[in-house]
Amino acid sequence: MRLSRLTLSGFKSFADPTDFRFDAPITGIVGPNGCGKSNVVDAIKWVLGERSAKSLRGGAMLDVIFAGSASRKPGGHASVTLTFDNPRLAVPIDRDIPEISTEAEPAETMDVEGASIDGPVQRDAVRDRLLPVDADEVQVERRLWADGRSEYLVNGRKVRLRDVRELFLDTGIGNDAYCIIEQGKVDAMLRAHPVERRSILEEAA
Amino acid sequence: MRLSRLTLSGFKSFADPTDFRFDAPITGIVGPNGCGKSNVVDAIKWVLGERSAKSLRGGAMLDVIFAGSASRKPGGHASVTLTFDNPRLAVPIDRDIPEISTEAEPAETMDVEGASIDGPVQRDAVRDRLLPVDADEVQVERRLWADGRSEYLVNGRKVRLRDVRELFLDTGIGNDAYCIIEQGKVDAMLRAHPVERRSILEEAA
Amino acid sequence: SRRRFKATFEAVRDQFGGQEGMFRRLFGGGSADLFLVPMENGEIDWLESGVEIRAKPPGKEPRVISQLSGGEKTMTAVALLMAIFRSKPSPFCILDEVDAALDEANVERFTKALGPFLDRSHFIVITHHKRTMQACHELHGVTMAERGVSRRVTVRVDQVGADGRIREDALE
Amino acid sequence: SRRRFKATFEAVRDQFGGQEGMFRRLFGGGSADLFLVPMENGEIDWLESGVEIRAKPPGKEPRVISQLSGGEKTMTAVALLMAIFRSKPSPFCILDEVDAALDEANVERFTKALGPFLDRSHFIVITHHKRTMQACHELHGVTMAERGVSRRVTVRVDQVGADGRIREDALE
Ligand SMILES: Nc1ncnc2c1ncn2[C@@H]1O[C@H](COP(=O)(O)OP(=O)(O)OP(=O)(O)O)[C@@H](O)[C@H]1O
Ligand SMILES: Nc1ncnc2c1ncn2[C@@H]1O[C@H](COP(=O)(O)OP(=O)(O)OP(=O)(O)O)[C@@H](O)[C@H]1O
Ligand SMILES: [Mg+2]
Ligand SMILES: [Mg+2]
């Protein structure tokens, strides 16, 4: 299971649809100050379910939508898609089946018509793929409109935020996981309080 | 009035007496990671009266004394001296005469025999020099012994911490003044709360 | 659960401070350790105790990690991160200018340390350091040729000027 | 006192965000401003109100300063520091790796911005950037040839290797 591609459109300074492929073992992102490199990291955190505007360096969540520039009008919506390769495995995985809590999701991820969504995530049905979706490629998308509506999609089907989190359970992937080190935060683990350090280790347990 | 020289001995990683001259308009300090560059900044803050061990990146104030290395025993005391040029001015200065508070100084700067010290700082007597000391050169020194005794000296005479602070009143120099930007803290003014920013501007008023 | 945390803690501790651990690999020697902080009653509680870090670069005797230099802190943090990564690899890892405080010699050690992880994960590294760029297999340039609007271009290391600017010839 | 604060605030505001201010000088354009935050009652109180910063790099429309990039934040902070310095110069200024997040083009603008201050103050700059070293009139190298013990040596820019290490010939 490999992160193969990132597509941004209308997200922060990426006004136009922009594609990043990640085919190499080490991919570098370079460019002068202020050109949009850290916005790429924010995009990945956002599509993985980040809900705090502050941790995306904004004032409000709507700040992730392209705000306009000297030559362009502000954007109407932001969309980010992550594409993962999800090939069949030779040896099936033994997955814990988590209890699915039945408390209602917060409204932000309700389907625009308000219907509840039958998750594409078949945790126990799909044992021969790392991501529990029966497809060779898994695309996770998040969208946000200027009027505040937002939605998550997995392979084109609307899902809840909980489905996205469940999709990545136990993979080490998450919007605040130890595998995303933000600018200026590399020594956060050293500066943290001993008890906070514990919770980072618990996440990896 | 110019900072012309810094002398460290037994302070942090500077086990041996070490001199830095600052004769150029812009002086660079360079060297690999961990070699002792930021310790130089700590030394300047310390001699100017810094009283928080934490802001010198240590656990306790005694941590500023050379702690030993693979090939050397720990040091017995630390000493740092700042030397300022203090030439006579063509035009005398009109100095405010601050009220001197009479509350007792904390014990750390009492003379080792406990006698009170007659300050060399003649604020109203010396009007033709930037630093109110009647000498072409002013040396400020701070010493700390492993047993906790410490003292301040101005031109070789013992003084109180209050005298050191008074010496630099209204010059823009101080251990936490805006003229010392520590490593990793350049955007502290941006990250600070609006009310904290105000106090930085008040210092410059 | 307690059992799982203990197993992870022991694994990370060894990957971090062990003889072959990431700390010694990144510093070329020295020693490091992780330990649990006893509770008020003096006992260690596997479910509650916080985690403390001890790090000693070769030939030095820092009492607390706050005495380490900026570059030493970065290298210690990267060593710990890699130790966690080794005991629980995730498919990818994003590093945004983690090399900002490093001198060139440490940038070299940092990029070399990524090698052993490439069989299980891949890295996305944002950097201004030429040496780190040279360690990348592929480079994406981001430019704002149109002010305020980001665009991606494919670049080779030799097309990135010393000033991090992407040279004209790469901007198709 | 209120009068003094007001005078300093107005001076720094102009030196920071004015047409010829430090922000426009460091960014080659754009606009910036300082303003006092009204109290709960909506009034500005010269004795109590906090200070807010607005910064707009050329061609951009950030709503809050937290949206600025790492390098843009550093340049904005340096511009503000210089503005304070201009209204109340101190005899010296120590900058410890303030250029860590800057690309080469911004390092260039930063070192050029020190020029106008040299008639009243002098600077002590700690850096790993070659460009900043080249802007220095004198360089002190610090080495730990003996592990754990710092020593000072005089160096020229060409004696500092690409990796910040001081070459053997400078270590008398
Ligand atoms: N919603 C938005 N619309 C348009 N531009 C935005 C939006 N949000 C942020 N920006 C702009 O994006 C820029 C910051 O980009 P980013 O932080 O990715 O830069 P960077 O390439 O990481 O630079 P550095 O090397 O300095 O860290 C800022 O100038 C900011 O104004
Ligand atoms: N009391 C002490 N005795 C001996 N060594 C000390 C003492 N206090 C700190 N040190 C050592 O000084 C070193 C840190 O030096 P410093 O922070 O000045 O490095 P630096 O040159 O600024 O490096 P960088 O480029 O990484 O910021 C640490 O390795 C630390 O162990
Ligand atoms: Mg950035
Ligand atoms: Mg340092």
Say if residue A123's pLDDT is above 70.
no
- Contacts with C70 from chain D: Cβ below 8 Å: 97
**Could you give the angle at which helices C70-87 and C2-17 cross, rounded to 10 degrees?**
130
- What pLDDT, on a 0 to 100 scale, did the predictor assign at position C88? 86
Ligand 1 proximity of D60 Cβ (cutoff 6 Å): yes
Give the pLDDT confidence of B15-27 residue by residue, as tens digits.
999 999 999 999 9
- Looking at residue C163, its pLDDT comes to 55
Give the span between the Cα atoms of B187 and C30, in whole angstroms: 33
Q: Which of residues 25-84 of D touch A (CB under 8 A)?
A: 57-64, 66-72, 75
The pLDDT, as a whole number, for residue D132 is 95
% residues pLDDT > 90 (chain B) = 67
Q: For the segment C130-142, what is each residue's pLDDT rounded down to a tens digit?
A: 999 999 999 999 9
Find residues 130-159 of chain C whose CB sits inside 8 Å of chain A: 132-133, 135-144, 146-152, 155
Q: Say whether pLDDT at A113 is over 90.
A: no
Residues sharing a CB contact under 8 Å with residue C59, sequence separation 6 or more, in sequence order: B69, B70, B71, C30, D144, D147, D148
pLDDT given at position B101: 42
- Nearest C-alpha in A relative to C132: A28
From atom 28 of ligand 2, which residue's Cα is the shortest distance away? C68
Mean pLDDT value across residues B177-195: 93
What is residue A114's predicted lDDT score, i.e. its pLDDT?
A: 38
pLDDT at B61 over 80: yes
Among C60, C107, C108, beta carbon nearest to D148: C60
pLDDT at B41 over 50: yes
CB of A42 sitting under 6 A from ligand 1: no
- Substitution target in B33, B52, B54, B65 with the highest count of C β-carbons within 10 Å is B33
Q: Is A35 in the pocket of ligand 1 (CB under 6 A)?
A: yes
DSSP C64-107: SGGGS-HHHHHHHHHHHHHHHHHHS--SEEEEESTTTT--HHHH
Q: Specify the DSSP element, H or E, that contains B203.
A: helix B194-204
Greatest Cα-to-Cα distance within chain B, rounded to the nearest angstrom: 55
* DSSP state string for chain A: -EEEEEEEESBTTB-S-EEEE--SSEEEEE-STTSSHHHHHHHHHHHTT---SGGGT-SSGGGGB----SSSPPPSEEEEEEEEE-PBPSS------PPPP-SPPPGGGS-TT------S--TTT--SBSSSSSSSEEEEEEEEETTS-EEEEETTEEE-HHHHHHHTTTTT--TTSTTEE-TT-TTHHHHS-HHHHHHHHHHT-
Q: What span, in angstroms and rounded, lies between the C-alpha atoms of D4 and A177? A: 49
Residue C113 has pLDDT above 50, yes or no: yes
Which chains would you list as touching C if contact means 3+ CB atom pairs under 8 Å? A, B, D
Tell me which chain C residues have a C-beta less than 8 angstroms from the C-beta of B54.
66
User: Does residue A66 line the site of ligand 1, with CB under 6 A?
Assistant: yes
Contact indicator for C92, C85 with CB cutoff of 8 Å:
no
Residue A27 has pLDDT above 80, yes or no: yes
- Nearest protein Cα to ligand 1, atom 17: D69
CB contact under 8 A, C70 and B38: yes
Tokens of A41: 């990291």
Q: Does C98 touch chain B (CB under 8 A)?
A: no
Residue A116: the pLDDT is: 41
Ligand 2 pocket, B128 CB below 6 A? no
Query: Ligand 1 within 6 A of D62 CB?
Result: yes
B54: nearest CA in chain C?
C66
Which of A33, A57, A183 comes nearest D66 by C-beta?
A: A57
Give the whole-angstrom CA distance, residue A195 versus residue A203: 13
User: Does D71 sit within 8 Å of A33, measured CB to CB?
Assistant: yes
Nearest to B29 by CA among C69, D123, D144, D105: D123
Q: Does B200 touch chain C (CB under 8 A)?
A: no
Tell me how far the alpha carbon of residue A16 lies from the centroid of ligand 3, in angstroms.
20
Residue closest via CA to ligand 1's atom 13 equals A34
B30 touches chain C (CB under 8 A): no
Q: Taking 50 as the threshold, does the pLDDT of residue A100 lie above it?
A: no
Check if the beta carbon of residue B189 is closer than 8 Å to that of residue D80: yes
Closest ligand to C103 CA? 2
Interface partners of B (3+ CB pairs, < 8 Å)? C, D
Nearest-by-Cβ selection for A34 from D61, D64, D72:
D72
Lowest mean pLDDT among A193-197, B156-160, C19-23, C85-89: C85-89
Q: Residue A115's pLDDT band (boundaries 50, 70, 90)?
A: very low
In this structure, the number of other CB atoms found within 10 A of the CB of residue D158 comes to 11
For residue B45, the chain D residue with the least C-alpha distance is D94
Distance in angstroms (rounded) separating the CA atoms of residues D133 and D135:
5
> Is residue A91 exposed (0-12), middle (13-18) or buried (19+ Cβ within 10 Å)?
exposed
Residue A129 has pLDDT above 60, yes or no: yes
pLDDT tier at D33 (50, 70, 90 boundaries)?
very high
SS3 C27: helix
A122 vs C156: which has the higher pLDDT? C156
Q: Residue A108 pLDDT > 50, yes or no?
A: no
Give me the pLDDT at residue B203, please: 82
Task: pLDDT band for B49, please (50, 70, 90 cuts).
Answer: very high
D104 Cβ inside 6 Å of ligand 1? no
Pocket test for ligand 1, best of A11, A14, A38, A62 (most atoms within 8 A of CB): A38
> Which residues have their alpha-adjacent CB atom under 5 A from ion ligand 3?
A 38, 183; D 69-70
Neighbours of chain A (3+ CB pairs under 8 A): C, D
Instruction: Give the rounded distance of the alpha carbon of A145 from its chain centre.
Output: 17
Specify whether the CB–CB gap between A205 and C10 falls below 8 A: no
- Mean pLDDT of all residues in B136-162: 96
Residue B171's pLDDT band (boundaries 50, 70, 90)? confident
Any A CB within 8 A of C87 CB: yes
Which positions in chain C touch B32 (Cβ < 8 Å)? 71, 103, 105-106
- Model confidence over C33-48: pLDDT tens digits? 999 999 999 999 999 9
Q: Read off the pLDDT of each residue in D29-38 and give the average, rounded to a whole number.
A: 96
To the nearest whole number, what is the mean pLDDT of chain C?
Answer: 92
Torsion angle of the four alpha carbons A155, A160, A163, A164, in this order, in degrees rounded to the nearest 10 = 70
Residue among B2, B12, B194 whose CB faces D51 most closely: B194
Q: How many CB atoms lie within 10 A of CB B96?
A: 9
Residue D72 in tokens = 């843009």
At residue A121, the pLDDT reads 66
Counting ligands in written order, the one closest to the CA of C73 is 2
Dihedral over alpha carbons A114, A120, A124, A129 (to 10 degrees): -150
Give the per-residue pLDDT at B120. Answer: 61
From the CA of A28, how many Å to the nearest CA of chain C?
5
**Per-residue confidence (pLDDT) for residue C169, from 0 to 100:** 72
Give the separation between CA C125 and CA C169, rounded to whole angstroms.
Answer: 23
A170 touches chain C (CB under 8 A): no
Compute, in angstroms, the gap from residue B30 CA to the centroid of ligand 3. 25
- Which tens digits make up the pLDDT trace of B94-131? 776 554 444 444 434 444 443 444 556 666 678 889 99
Residue C129 has pLDDT above 60, yes or no: yes
For D91-144, how does the pLDDT look when each residue is reduced to its tens digit (9 = 90+)? 999 999 999 999 999 999 999 999 999 998 999 999 999 999 999 999 999 999
- Tell me what pLDDT residue D141 has: 96
What's the pLDDT at A111?
42
Tell me what pLDDT residue A106 has: 43
Nearest CA to ligand 2 atom 19: B34
| Ranges A22-26, B178-182, C18-22: which has the least confidence | B178-182
Pocket of ligand 1 contains residue A158 by CB under 6 Å: no
pLDDT tens, position by position, D47-101: 999 999 999 999 998 999 999 999 999 999 999 999 999 988 889 999 999 999 9
> Can you tell me whether residue B80 is helix, strand or coil?
strand
Q: Which atom of ligand 1 is nearest to the CA of C148?
A: 5
Residue D162, pLDDT score: 60
pLDDT-derived band at A156, boundaries 50, 70, 90:
very high
Within 8 A by CB and 6+ apart from D1, the residues are none
Chain A residues with beta carbon closer than 8 angstroms to that of D101: 33, 183-184
Q: What's residue A84's pLDDT?
A: 97
pLDDT tens, residue by residue, A42-69: 999 999 999 999 999 999 999 999 999 9
Contact call for C57 and B34, based on CB within 8 A: yes
Q: Looking at the predicted structure, is the pLDDT value of residue A96 above 80?
A: no
For tokens 């004032």, the residue is A59
From C84, C118, C147, residue closest to A25, measured CB to CB: C118
Chain D window 55-74: which residues touch C at a Cβ cutoff of 8 Å? 58-61, 70
The answer to whether C97 contacts A183, with C-beta atoms less than 8 Å apart, is yes
pLDDT of residue A203: 82
Name the residue with higher pLDDT: C126 or A92: C126
Q: For A37, which residue in chain D has the nearest alpha carbon? A: D69
Q: D70-87 and D104-113 are packed helices; what angle lies between their axes, rounded to 10 degrees?
A: 0
Q: Indicate if the pLDDT at residue A118 is higher than 80.
A: no
The chain-wide mean pLDDT, for chain A, equals 87
